[in-house]
Each structure stands twice: as structure tokens, then as C-alpha cells.
Amino acid sequence: MQGPVEQETTNGTIVVVEDDRNIAELVDLYLRNAGFRVLQASDARRGLELVAQERPCLVMFDIGLPGPLDGLQACRELRKTSDVPVVMVTARDDELDRVLGLELGADDYITKPFSPRELVARVRAILRRSENGRRPADEPMTVGSVVVDTLRREVAASGAIVQLTAREFDLLAHFAENPGIVFSRQQLLDAVWGSGWYGDERTVDVHVRQLRRKLGDALPLATVWGVGYRCD
């Protein structure tokens, strides 16, 4: 099967700290074809050295690294000196690991086996959120032909203002902040309605239908059957 087409490296440097050579090479391939410069390390110490030397835009740590420092400990060390975005990768689907990783300062968490395309989408979303944190508060986001102004809470589709309810706006903003990532209905409920909200997951479907009705083809909002929704 033909692999992804090689693209010019323009999007910054990513340090991948992964001791499984096959996974490291696969991640390297997809990130490079997404326009990133990739530097690999097979242990935490070397990874931290690369971060200090290269000042990357993002770091990926495998949790189960060999040697005196695992990925969680490496993340803790890194956060003493840097706020660079961090993605934790692990073969252990353990809630405690995820919570601990996020508490130590990781920005996202992905479990093996994973789709390389999903990983690239998550990386892009994290970098976009990081960039959004540095952008002027009045600078809107764009997804498809839809412009989302979170300061004024206004939405324009193909240049025309569209009226949304508060919840529709919040759902759209969440998609705009995380382009390319597939969200389950429960994940959307937690992010937009709040983790304490108890209700039917079909609420998400209703709001998605409303966004599609109001924004039409201007909004690239796709259904991922059996999973949830993705906005590119």
C-alpha cells in the first residue's frame, strides 16, 4: 500500500522519545509527512537533552521507557524548566496513568495501538491550542468556511452571520479548537456540557444536526460511524 506523500518540513521540530523502534519509525514517518522535523530518542535522558538543545514545538514521551526515568518522571523533570506541549504514549490503558500524566503537565494522552493519522491530528490540535493561547483574544478561529469569534461569541458562514444557541456555539468552538480529532459523544458531553452533566448522549446528535442545518456545507463536520464526530 502506498504511504503518505513526502511534504516539506515547515511546521517545527518534534522530539519523539520511544524505545520501540518500529513505533518510533512509524511516528517519525507520519510526522515528517505532515511537515514536521522529527528527532528520536530511545530513553528519557537523551530525550530531555534533545529538548534542551533543540527547543522543539512538542515532545512525545512513551510512559514505559527503559532506564532510571520513565515517561511520567521525564514529564515531571521537563515541567521544571519548560512549558513545551507534551503527548504521553503508552501501551497501558490505565486511568491512573492518564490522570497522573495530565496532573504532571501532559497536554494529551494516547494509548497503543493507535492510528498514526489520529496521532498527527492530535499533535496539530495541541499545537493549535498552544498557538491560540498566545494569539490576541479578539482573533477568531476558522474551520472550513466558518469563522468562530469566541470573544464576541459570533459565527459567520461564508461571510454571513449565523445565530446559534449558547450550547451550539460552545460545541462548534470545541470542534474548531480541535480540528481533525474524532470525539465520541461522551467526550463531547464532558467537554461542552461538563463532566457533571447527566443526560442522553443523543443530545449531542441533536446539536450536531442543528449545526449542520444552520451552517450547511460551510462546516466540514463529519460523522465517524460507530465512534462519534470529527470536524476538519
**Residue 12 predicted with pLDDT over 70:** yes
Distance CA 113, CA 85 (A): 22
> Which CATH code, of 3.30.200.20, 3.40.50.970, 3.10.580.10, 3.40.50.2300, is assigned to 13-133?
3.40.50.2300
Q: 95-104: which pairs have CB atoms within 8 A and are 24 or more residues apart?
A: 97/63, 97/72, 100/72, 101/63, 101/71, 101/72, 101/75, 104/72, 104/75, 104/76, 104/79
Give 136-231's CATH code, choosing from 3.40.190.10, 1.10.10.10, 3.30.430.20, 3.30.260.10. 1.10.10.10
Give the pLDDT confidence of 98-144 residue by residue, as tens digits. 666 677 778 788 888 888 888 888 888 778 766 655 555 557 889 89
Sketch the domain layout of the chain as residue ranges: 13-133, 136-231
The reply to whether the predicted model has a pTM over 0.85 is: no
Beta bridge partners of residue 221, listed in sequence order = 231
**pLDDT band at residue 195 using 50, 70 and 90 as cut-offs:** low
